Structure 1
Amino acid sequence: MTELDPIIHAAARLRITAALATLDTGESIAFPRLQELLDMTAGNLSTHVRKLEDAGYVAVEKTHRGRTPVTYLALTRQGRRAFEDYTETLRSVLGERP
């Protein structure tokens, strides 16, 4: 049996990756908006985003809107592929056909 990606498999990281996968390629979401959508604390979200970033699955862009710092998150090409592979493997484990 093929193993599920342990980076994505953690519940919080799966939720983050799934949410980011709903964005079109090249789109990003502000950190506070994702935090609100997932109902996660800033610290918890930050910790899991860091794991995904270290794996090359999430791109983090820190910028400013006026004088206010803003952090944007997006799936990388590698992250999108990993999520697609993860969902395909999960379907296989569950006995579903593509």
Structure 2
Amino acid sequence: MLPYKELAQLDKLVHEPARLSVLTALSACTLAEFLFLQDLTGLTKGNLSSHLAKLEKAGLVFIDKHFVRKKIPQTTIRITSDGRAAVERHWRQLESIHRAIQQQGAHNDKRSSTV
């Protein structure tokens, strides 16, 4: 059986490309500044803010807004343990699905070459 149905059942909150990019970047560091994430992902401020709000609402990231030297606004984002688990699970699922599809394809190639 091919795992194509599993692709349709992936966590859509995590699977959305911009959010997957953000979560993957955050999983590689302790915290990131908003502007760094914006530059890294290539998202606009509004788009990144929107995606971060969805991730925060789901408990996958923590957003801290504060001022540096009482004047300069700074927003930092941390991935939560739930967020880290979700993105790691997502990548494992994608790898497993990809491996299964490749194996099925190799199996079909062997079958068609013997005919």
Write the distance in 2 (CA, Å) between the matches of 1:69 and 1:6. 32
Structure 1 runs (4+) deviating above 2 angstroms are: none
- Work out the number of aligned pairs and report it: 93
Q: Deviations over 1:18-39 (max 9, x none)?
A: 111111xxx2111011111111
Question: In the alignment, does 2:48 pair up with 1:45?
Answer: yes
Report what 1:12 is aligned to.
Answer: 18
Q: Which of 58, 68, 74 is the matching residue for 1:65?
A: 68
Q: Deviations over 1:9-56 (max 9, x none)?
A: 111111111111111xxx211101111111111000000011111111
Q: Compute the displacement of 1:93 (Å).
A: 1.1
Q: Compute the displacement of 1:80 (Å).
A: 0.1
Q: Give SS of 1:35's match.
A: helix
Write the distance in 2 (CA, Å) between the matches of 1:83 and 1:12. 13
Percent of paired sites with the same residue: 37
Q: Give SS of 1:69's match.
A: strand
Report what 2:92 is aligned to.
Answer: 88
Report what 2:108 is aligned to.
Answer: none
Q: Which runs of 5+ in 1 are unaligned?
A: none
Normalization by structure 1: what TM-score?
0.88
Letter aligned with residue 81 of structure 2: R
Normalization by structure 2: what TM-score?
0.76
More helix by share: 2
